[in-house]
Amino acid sequence: MYKVEVIASDLIRRESVTPEDGGCQEYLESLLRPLGFVRHSVDVGGIINSIYSREGECEGVLAFAGHTDVVPTGPIEQWDFPPFSGLIQDDMLCGRGAQDMKSAIACWAVAIERLIGQEEPLPTLQMLITSDEEGDSVDGTIRMLEYLEAKQALPDAAIVGEPSSLHQVGDTVRRGRRGVVTIYVDVIGKQGHSAYPNDANNAVHHAVIAGQRVLDTHWGEPFEGFPATSCQITNFNGGAGASNVIPGEATLMIDIRYNPSINFAGIKQRVEAAFAGIKVDLDFRHQAEVFFTPDGDFLDLVTNQIKDKTGIDSNRDTGGGTSDGRFLAVAGIPVVELGLTNDRIHQINERVMLAELTTLTDIYQGIIKHF
């Protein structure tokens, strides 16, 4: 009988700083093969991607999407324990990936093993596991979905195991996310001596003025169920390093998180208007589409199982950053993100209560059983 804390600890001990997998997916294959799963490797560009599939005894195809890569540890000397130890102490599982998101993978695997042991008839199950989520996300989940689409084998719905919960497991599920647009800006002026401004063109002055226009821009109306569209200037550089030199170039980075009241074309139009009359090079990158899973049977199933196992009425949320759920949604798959608490993700001393793993496994088991 599989133990969730053992599997999660084993995964954490495999060093898999993005985009490395560290042997995690081979280890998962050793666990899933005895349960009737077949592994299909969809490795692209050096990224390890695995689709583990098991034919079901009843209708429907349910997928779990997750990632084995983790973010870098940061200064190891600041950790209270080795970050890849998978240490269990004081009823907590410790290490990089404990919350984000190796433990959730373990919970899903154990939930399946329990149901098979109970001889429950199950839907067809897929696990889509990539080592390219914390990095560029170019050759990860999207490549597996392309593979499944070509095989006409896309799932009917998907759970993404990202750590969605705030204070206790199940208090929040992500039913969507805002879209993301990043703009790289090069403002072009003319360098000169600060005593002779008429012979120069100060790129920093233009960047400051246009940057304020961007911040003052109206980014669309509120949209029910979504946070407001937000705009942040995340980087600003200019200057030649001397106080008497007028800079001839300045650069900005702008990050826009948008809700469905606006689209990429509308954002592009507004940013271009803010820089009107300024010599500038604008590089727009549409990093993620906005997506939203509407109320319906699948979302009800997830929240009902949370209620049944915990007594919690879940908040159906669309906050947070990006996730691979965006690729599933673009493929037309209803997607819900449900995982552990997220108070220590990407931090020094990442860890999670063992009790959370038990709760999440129970919830996952109910979702699979009643799908």
Catalytic positions, please? 69, 133
Whole-number Å distance between alpha carbons of 247 and 229: 32
Token pair for residue 42?
């969809």
Positions of E strands within 217-264: 230-238, 245-246, 249-258
Helix, strand, coil tally for the chain in percent (to 5)? 30, 25, 40
Task: Give the Å distances, CA to CA, from 355 to 5, 114, 275, 361.
Answer: 10, 17, 53, 10
Pairing type for strands 88-89 and 176-177 reads: unpaired
Other Cβ atoms less than 10 A from the Cβ of 24: the count is 27
Whole-number Å distance between alpha carbons of 15 and 186: 38
CB 255 within 8 A of CB 231: yes
Whole-number Å distance between alpha carbons of 107 and 126: 15
**End-to-end alpha carbon distance in the chain:** 23
CB 62 within 8 A of CB 155: yes
Q: Is the dihedral of CA 224, 226, 229, 230 positive or negative?
A: positive
Q: Which residues of 69-88 are buried (b: 16+ CB within 10 A; e: fewer)?
A: bbbebeeeeebeeebbebbb
Beta bridge partners of 238: 250
Whole-number Å distance between alpha carbons of 268 and 174: 27
Pairing type for strands 49-54 and 124-130 reads: antiparallel
Whole-number Å distance between alpha carbons of 370 and 304: 10
At residue 340, φ and ψ (nearest 5 deg) are: -75, 180
Kind plus residue range of the DSSP H or E element containing 280:
strand 280-288
